[in-house]
Structure 1
Amino acid sequence: MSPSLIDCKYESRTPGGGVRTAPSQLDSFDWCAIEQSLDDSGNAVLPRLLSVRQCKELSALYPRDEGYRSRIVMARHGFGRGEYKYFAYPLPPLLDQLRHALYWRLAPIANRWNRQLGVGVSYPDELDAFLERCREAGQVRPTPLILQYGPGDYNCLHQDLYGEHVFPLQVAILLSEPGKDFTGGEFVMTESTARNQRADVVALRQGDAVVFTVNQRPAAGKRGGMRKAAMRHGVSRLRSGKRHTVGLIFHDAR
């Protein structure tokens, strides 16, 4: 086990000791193993975070006009092929609850990573406090989104940065069923350091979520100490069908 893993204790409580209202699925995960996976490879899978019913209900939101602040056609911007929509505030209740509950569990990891990388930024315990920091810097536009891919569509390798304040982890949830709703369309991550490059294909089932690095993560150097590993993510070309995904980004955009 990596010596970088610290104080791995996760409880469903607020910092003041009260009971936290969070999706019950989150309590069933091995958060020590999730933290270790993030340390080792920059990503970790949360199996069956959403039920099939919840996935279908979220996918059904995509054709609607209401509830979104903008629609992006990827080919127009050189992002790949496919399209996505940014949700407007207020977010759908399920996504708002997940965003808050996941942030609370990921903030200690994000703070430790910054310390290991020598980054003088710390994140508050609660999402609302971090979003207030974003608003003060002019980052006021919500970033959670839903993506839609069809045959031949793909997403170029990229990083979701959006402004000065960036939370170093984000979450994607696969809403469609591989092999039934679509083929191809794998979630891909790459890692680059001064000496090495690596690519991972992260296998997901319907309802699975992947927590992954937005920009940089600390990685153990060959001679001891920590080095910066630059991460990017994307989606491989869809061969058939239709694929929907929800993305939960914790910092808002300018």
Structure 2
Amino acid sequence: MTSHHPATTALPAAPQTDQRTGQPIERRVNALDWRRIEHDLDQYGCSAVPQLLTPSECDALSALYSRDDLYRSRIVMARHGFGRGEYKYFAYPLPPLIGALRGAFYPHLVPVANRWNRAMAIDVRYPPDHEEFIRRCHDAGQLRPTPLMLQYGEGDYNCLHQDLYGEHVFPLQVAILLSEPGRDFTGGEFVMTEQRPRMQSRAEVVPLAKGDAVVFTVNSRPVQGTRGPYRVNLRHGVSRLRSGHRHTVGIIFHDAQ
């Protein structure tokens, strides 16, 4: 019998509603310029989303980092050769804003994920509803939630990597910057690299402000060549913080073994 966890729980520190407009997160995500986001993902493998969260929502999420009862594990990156800094994986049930973001983004990204898999001759197709995809993960033994909070201090960085946690991997994810560049920290840019066959790696740096998100490729995406589409591999990370402290929340759509 497969266990299935609810996506949210009641935590007043993380509101699901935009305090400026009263719009729920789902409506806010639905109103994004998805044509532009899809175009950017096809062209560059990532797309910035300005002002997704309000400053107060960012502060409320950052404050959750000290709530150890909300997390299933803490990773100190230097111990594993991942870089410097640390992050914590949320436990089920997720804080309401995290669960709302996960559920709101997923259906908009499914068409891109399925189209990419067709182009790369990958047989996997993703269901339109995130709960159904999570059941698929849990049936395969991937039971542990993957949304996480990252914390960096001066000199910290995140090595280039891919977030793969088992057989079932959703090929897109979202990161949201919760701190203000230039005030809370300096340095610490979001970085991606793309390796195309028989070519040197291409780097992409995505400038983000507090509350901005970036949607990006987890591991591979198709690129159109003269003989049809071919697969390129991508990795992401964070450059060295030169001063201050930086918090980020990561929304990963597949669960882990």
Same fold by TM-score greater than 0.5? yes
Match of 1:204 in 2: 208
How far, CA to CA, are the matches of 1:81 and 1:22 in structure 2?
Answer: 32
- Correspondence 1:52-71 to 2 at 5 A: 52-71=55-74
Letter in 1 for 2:209: R
Match of 1:184 in 2: 187
Match of 1:216 in 2: 220
Percent identity over paired residues: 66
How far, CA to CA, are the matches of 1:236 and 1:85 in structure 2?
Answer: 19
Match of 2:31 in 1: 28
Q: Is the 8 A contact 2:177 2:249 kept in 1?
A: yes
* TM-score scaled by length of structure 2: 0.89
- Is residue 253 from structure 1 mapped to residue 256 from structure 2 by the alignment? yes
- Correspondence 1:139-154 to 2 at 5 A: 139-154=142-157
- Correspondence 1:1-254 to 2 at 5 A: 22-196=25-199, 197-221=201-225, 223-254=226-257
Letter in 2 for 1:234: G
The alpha carbon displacement at 1:224 in A equals: 3.5
Letter in 1 for 2:92: Y
Q: Is the 8 A contact 2:30 2:104 kept in 1?
A: no
Letter in 2 for 1:120: D
* TM-score scaled by length of structure 1: 0.90
The alpha carbon displacement at 1:22 in A equals: 4.7
Gaps of 5+ in 2: 1-23
Distance 1:22 1:126, change over 3 A: farther
Gaps of 5+ in 1: 1-20
How far, CA to CA, are the matches of 2:189 and 2:160 in structure 1?
Answer: 12
Q: Secondary structure at the match of 2:109?
A: helix
Q: Is the 8 A contact 2:85 2:156 kept in 1?
A: yes
How far, CA to CA, are the matches of 1:50 and 1:239 in structure 2?
Answer: 25
Summarize deviations over 1:64-83 as a string: whole Å, max 9, x none.
21110000000000000000
Summarize deviations over 1:198-253 as a string: whole Å, max 9, x none.
001100010000000000000111x2310111000000000000000000000000
The alpha carbon displacement at 1:26 in A equals: 1.4
Summarize deviations over 1:116-165 as a string: whole Å, max 9, x none.
00000000000000000000100000000000000000000000000000
The alpha carbon displacement at 1:29 in A equals: 1.6
Q: CA RMSD in A?
A: 0.9
How far, CA to CA, are the matches of 2:38 and 2:168 in structure 1?
Answer: 22
Letter in 2 for 1:181: D
How far, CA to CA, are the matches of 1:22 and 1:103 in structure 2?
Answer: 13
